[in-house]
């Protein structure tokens, strides 16, 4: 619990790191209607595609400096020599990023969805999808950030982007399934299944990658 | 208290690409003993410390440390957050409830800067803040990489006295320093 509090303190004080991705998401969603005709049905056609891509980009930005600062100031060395599990600390950090960035973006997703579709049930169905997908994307891009620790975050994002593509496909299919009234829950379960593997595997892999970088 | 073996290094070798930094290095330290690692720049002093800490793996050899406690380490980087105040950094170090915190804050003359962001402190003041990790440590093994660099004469004396006291408390000290200090130590010379 103390680790959670300390990670929260660090991220809270780095306003740019948590507010930046939320603002980028907000700007994309706000700009989207301006680029198409102001007809309700036309807006809905592309809205969900833009929504998932906006979440993907925001999570990519969120993880840009998730490890690099600790790497540069020597904090990672201090963490590694402690007897505390390094994987656990990585998990905690990703959870805090998700709570501070992923959850607000999921709430915004609901608001934008409701504003665009004017369909409450459809907008509610967006909440679990965006909550789960933002957590999956954060984990994947944290992996990318660790891989490219001292080589620039763009490289890491490019490496991990192919892993995020199947999630985007499932997200797209989930909304169609909800609109047609079929298999929506199965898609949620599929995403939860992916998440359960990712939240265990990613911290372990990231801890090995960071140790290799420090060596 | 009887002195027991705290650190054993057996035939430690390390090479970068094909360049041997050191070869078949062996030493052992008992509790209450100190080792001063000396050598010119690039001789592998910091690398050896990182091997002892377990951050870097040796090419060959084995390090045994007889302690289950966290190691206390101060390296070239102070592990401080520039965008946080001294108070917040102390919180991150988890020393906010340490009974000796106030004492060392006053000794190091940091009290009036507690609300100041670390980015606004001088290098020496940042180094002093980093020293809290050492002064408030509860470990058996202290590893320091050039601890005297950037410190004024007065703080260097405080640090030397503190380390001498720690040795009397049967802690083990391994350090590198180009600045001469009055600590009774074994010497390991790297070439």
Q: Cα separation of A103 and A110, whole Å? A: 11
Alpha-carbon distance of A167 to A21, in angstroms, equals 20
Per-residue pLDDT, B191? 79
Contact B79 A2 (CB under 8 A): no
Strand B5-16 relative to strand B19-30, pairing: antiparallel
Mean pLDDT on A5-21? 92
**Average pLDDT of A124-141?**
94
- Chain B contact for A213 (CB, 8 A cutoff): no
Would the CB atoms of B70 and A74 count as touching at under 8 Å? no
Question: Residue B186: which domain range?
Answer: 1-69+173-191
Average pLDDT over residues A46-66: 92
Residue A82 touches partner B, C-beta closer than 8 Å: yes
What residues of chain A lie within 8 A of the CB of B56, using their CB?
214-215
- The span from the CA of B128 to the CA of B174, in Å, is 19
CATH number at residue B30: 3.40.50.300
Torsion sign across C-alpha atoms A23, A104, A198, B81: positive
Helix ranges restricted to H, A32-152: 40-62, 68-73, 75-80, 86-97, 103-117, 120-147
pLDDT of A2 > 90? The answer is no
Q: Which of A67, A74, A80, A96 has the most B C-beta neighbours within 10 Å, making it the best mutation to test the interface with B? A: A74
Q: Could you give the percent of chain A with pLDDT greater than 90?
A: 67
Mean pLDDT, residues A88-97 taken together: 95
Decide if B55 and A75 are in contact by the 8 Å CB cutoff. Answer: no
Inter-chain touch B79–A83, beta carbons under 8 Å:
no
- Mean model confidence pLDDT for chain A: 90
Greater confidence (A139 vs B68) lies with A139
Q: Is A35 exposed, middle or buried (0-12, 13-18, 19+ CB in 10 A)?
A: exposed
Q: Do B91 and A77 touch (CB under 8 A)?
A: no
Q: Which domain holds residue A172?
A: 2-214
pLDDT digits 0-9 by tens, B100-121: 999 999 999 999 999 999 999 9
Residue B124 lies in a domain: no
pLDDT of residue A38: 63
Distant-in-sequence contacts of A27-31, Cβ < 8 A, 24+ apart: A28/A53, A28/A54, A28/A57, A29/A54, A29/A108, A29/A112
CA distances in angstroms from B183 to B32, B36, B74, B124, B168, listed in the order given: 12, 9, 17, 22, 11
Give the whole-angstrom CA distance, residue A201 versus residue A195.
10
Given the cut 0.95, state whether the ipTM is greater than it: no
Tally Cβ neighbours within 10 Å of residue B49: 21
Kindly state whether A78 is in contact with chain B, defined as any CB-CB distance less than 8 angstroms.
yes
Whether B151 is covered by a domain: the verdict is no
List the beta bridge partners of residue B35.
Answer: B174, B186
DSSP code of residue A103: H
Looking at the complex, report in whole angstroms how far the Cα of residue B188 sits from the nearest Cα belonging to chain A. 23
Residue B138 inside a domain? The answer is no
Structurally, how many domains does chain B consist of? 1
* Structure tokens given for A10: 């660090």
Cβ contacts (< 8 Å) between A75 and chain B: which residues?
79, 81
Domain tally for chain A? 1
Among residues A14, A215, A78, the alpha carbon closest in space to that of B79 is found at A78
Do A143 and A87 touch, CB atoms closer than 8 A?
A: no
Closest approach of chain A CAs to the CA of B183, in angstroms?
25
pLDDT digits (tens, 9 = 90+) for B49-96: 999 999 999 999 999 988 878 889 999 899 999 999 999 999 999 998
pLDDT at A182: 86
Q: Please tell me the pTM assigned to this model.
A: 0.89
The C-alpha atoms of residue A177 and residue A184 are separated, in whole angstroms, by: 5
DSSP SS3 for B65: strand
């Amino acid at each position: 619990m103390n680790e959670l509090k300390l990670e929260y303190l660090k991220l809270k004080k780095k306003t740019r790191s948590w507010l930046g991705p939320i603002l980028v998401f907000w700007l994309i969603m706000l700009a989207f209607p301006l680029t198409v005709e102001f007809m309700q049905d036309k807006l809905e056609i592309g809205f969900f595609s833009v929504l998932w891509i906006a979440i993907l980009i925001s999570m990519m930005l969120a993880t840009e400096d998730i490890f690099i600062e600790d790497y540069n100031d020597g904090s990672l060395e201090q963490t590694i020599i402690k007897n505390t599990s390094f994987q656990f600390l990585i998990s905690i950090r990703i959870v805090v990023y998700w709570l501070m960035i992923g959850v607000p973006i999921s709430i915004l997703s609901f608001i934008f969805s409701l504003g665009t579709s004017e369909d409450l049930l459809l907008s509610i169905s967006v909440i679990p999808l965006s909550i789960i997908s933002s957590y999956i994307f954060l984990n994947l891009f944290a992996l990318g950030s660790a891989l490219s620790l001292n080589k620039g975050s763009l490289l890491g994002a490019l490496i991990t982007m192919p892993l995020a593509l199947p999630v985007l496909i499932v997200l797209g299919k989930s909304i169609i399934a909800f609109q047609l009234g079929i298999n929506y829950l199965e898609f949620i379960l599929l995403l939860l299944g992916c998440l359960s593997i990712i939240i265990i595997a990613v911290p372990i892999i990231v801890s090995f990658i960071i140790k290799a970088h420090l060596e | 208290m009887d002195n027991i073996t705290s650190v054993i290094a057996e035939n430690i070798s390390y090479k970068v690409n094909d360049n041997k930094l050191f070869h078949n290095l062996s030493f052992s330290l008992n509790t209450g003993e100190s080792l001063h690692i000396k050598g010119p720049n690039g001789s592998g002093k910091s690398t050896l410390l990182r091997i002892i800490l377990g951050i870097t793996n040796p090419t060959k050899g084995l390090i045994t440390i007889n302690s289950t406690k966290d190691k206390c380490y101060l390296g070239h980087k102070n592990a401080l957050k520039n965008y946080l105040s001294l108070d917040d950094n102390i919180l991150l170090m988890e020393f906010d409830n340490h009974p000796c915190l106030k004492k060392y804050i006053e000794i190091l003359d940091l009290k009036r800067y507690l609300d100041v962001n670390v980015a606004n402190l001088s290098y020496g003041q940042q180094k002093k803040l980093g020293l809290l990790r050492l002064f408030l440590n509860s470990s058996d093994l202290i590893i320091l990489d050039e601890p005297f660099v950037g410190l004024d004469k007065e703080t260097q004396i405080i640090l030397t006295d503190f380390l001498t006291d720690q040795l009397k408390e049967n802690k083990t000290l391994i350090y590198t320093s180009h600045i001469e200090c009055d600590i009774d130590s074994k010497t390991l010379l790297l070439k």
